[in-house]
């Protein structure tokens, strides 16, 4: 059985909290008429309860969640020309789990510096922001290196409309290779 669908692509928008993954993915999905999934919706009940109790997830907690996202990516690439998944994917090992068996999956790293992202998080209306959370996100982040050829980078130090336009151009460039 051929598991590869060359004309269909899945793009995982990755980056730290506050980098604009969800806002950008929603706008891009609308523009490209692409399928969209927020990876957080696939957390098992135990993870949701643990986070609700104020406890951080560890790698063992994340493994079944990442495998669920991997399965979703596989299903999405079978039925949609372009699919978008939001998942922070902060560590290379997480990205490797998502890649497994998904040849048509690429990452779009929503890259921004601490000050830019902190400013955006503080400006969010109706959103409680703990600065330590962002510090922890940046400490955990393993920025993709040149060995991860399936990672495309979008600089988020622009307006939302410009980030959306850059992301659309990045996706179209990857599809038309």
Q: Is residue 84 part of a domain?
A: yes
**Alpha-carbon separation of residue 177 from 15, 29, 67, 82, 104 (angstroms):** 24, 20, 28, 14, 12
Q: Token pair for residue 138?
A: 């940046």
pLDDT in tens, 73-122: 999 998 899 999 999 999 999 999 999 999 999 999 999 999 999 988 88
Q: Is residue 152 part of a domain?
A: yes
Query: Is the residue at 1 inside a domain?
Result: no
User: Is residue 3 one of the residues assigned to a domain?
Assistant: no
In a domain, 121, yes or no: yes
List, for residues 12-61, the tens digit of each pLDDT value: 999 998 999 999 999 999 999 999 999 999 999 999 898 888 788 899 99
Mean pLDDT score of the chain? 91
Does residue 31 lie within any of the structural domains? yes
Q: What is the pTM of this model?
A: 0.91
Domain containing 95 equals 9-175
pLDDT at 1 over 50: no
pLDDT at 120: 86
| Domains of the chain: total | 1
């Amino acid at each position: 059985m051929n598991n590869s669908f060359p004309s269909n692509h899945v793009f995982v928008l990755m980056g730290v909290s506050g980098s604009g993954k969800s806002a950008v993915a929603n706008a891009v999905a609308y523009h490209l008429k692409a399928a969209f999934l927020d990876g957080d919706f696939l957390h098992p009940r135990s993870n949701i309860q643990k986070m609700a109790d104020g406890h951080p997830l560890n790698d063992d907690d994340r493994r079944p969640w990442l495998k669920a996202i991997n399965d979703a990516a596989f299903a999405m690439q079978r039925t949609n020309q372009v699919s978008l998944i939001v998942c922070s994917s902060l560590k290379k090992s997480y990205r490797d789990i998502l890649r497994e068996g998904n040849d048509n999956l690429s990452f779009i790293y929503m890259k921004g510096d601490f000050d830019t992202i902190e400013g955006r998080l503080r400006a969010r209306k109706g959103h409680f922001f703990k600065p330590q959370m962002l510090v922890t996100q940046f400490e955990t982040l393993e920025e993709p290196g040149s060995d991860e050829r399936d990672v495309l980078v979008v600089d988020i130090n622009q307006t939302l409309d410009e980030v959306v336009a850059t992301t659309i151009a990045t996706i179209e460039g990857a599809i038309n290779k």
